[in-house]
Amino acid sequence: MKIGYARVSTADQNLDLQISALKNAGCEYIYQEKKSSVAERPELDKMMKFLRDGDQVVVWKLDRLARSLKHLLLLIEEFKTRKVDFMCLTNNIDTTTPMGLCFLSIAGAFAELERNLIIERTNAGLAAAKEKGIKLGRRPGLTESQQVIKKAACDLYIKDMSTIDICKSLNISTATLYRYLRAGNIAFRGNPGRPCCKKV
């Protein structure tokens, strides 16, 4: 079964173009979302719950589905594990073809590079703070080194790195991570909703 997912960032934007393209591609169901990429997306969660072995997820553009390259790769990996195919209409990606799989492999390499660069910049910032004689001990408010770690934690979280991996990479506790996210006004990830769908 072909299942479409359409999204616009705000309530006053129109989904008609995406829905029309998804219907023309043969989608039997289309989940429709009016949320920004960084907000909780209940329709996406419902679609992920609804998917079954042999289904194919179809989107108009990659940025309609994922909030980041890391998020996209995580979704694609879940599709693969659950034996669900993926197609993007405007980017000409189809995981049932060799070229589609090749594209995803290259994208995965760039995502890993991006994650490593963020961690490298964080370590460089900590080293620079130490050279300036800045103490890394705890004190009221955030020190310069903690500000560096906070920015890195927020960046990695937005790029959809898991909380466990963030804490391990930056050597911080989960409580500290969520304190940094609150301070950075980063929305926490929501829980998946129940499976349901919209007939088109």
Domain ranges for the chain: 2-96, 111-183
- In angstroms, what CA-CA distances link 150 with 68, 92, 108, 155, 187? 19, 37, 25, 9, 15
State mean pLDDT over 26-48: 88
Residue 51: predicted pLDDT:
94
Residue 141: predicted pLDDT:
66
- Nearest CA to 22 out of 54, 64, 51, 52 is that of 64
- Residue 194 in this model has a pLDDT that exceeds 50: no
Catalytic residue among 9, 36, 37, 68: 9
- Rounded to two decimals, the pTM is 0.54
- In angstroms, what CA-CA distances link 112 with 71, 100, 124, 159, 177? 12, 19, 18, 11, 21
Q: What is the distance between the alpha carbons of residues 104 and 118, in angstroms, rounded to a whole number?
A: 21
- Residue 195 in this model has a pLDDT that exceeds 50: no
Annotated active-site residue 9? The verdict is: yes
Strand 2-8 with 85-88, pairing: unpaired
114-123, 155-164, 190-199: which has the minimum mean pLDDT? 190-199
Residue 196: predicted pLDDT:
37
State mean pLDDT over 1-24: 90
Helix (H, G, I), strand (E, B) or coil at 158: helix
Tell me which fold the domain 2-96 belongs to. Answer: Rossmann fold (3.40.50)
Residue 135: predicted pLDDT:
62
Q: Which residue has the higher pLDDT, 109 or 97?
A: 97
Q: What is the pLDDT of residues 141-169, one digit of tens each?
A: 677 778 888 888 888 888 878 888 888 88
Residue 103: predicted pLDDT:
74
- Nearest CA to 159 out of 199, 186, 141 is that of 186
Q: Which residue has the higher pLDDT, 112 or 184?
A: 184
Note the Cα 100 to chain centre separation in Å.
Answer: 20
Residue 47: predicted pLDDT:
95
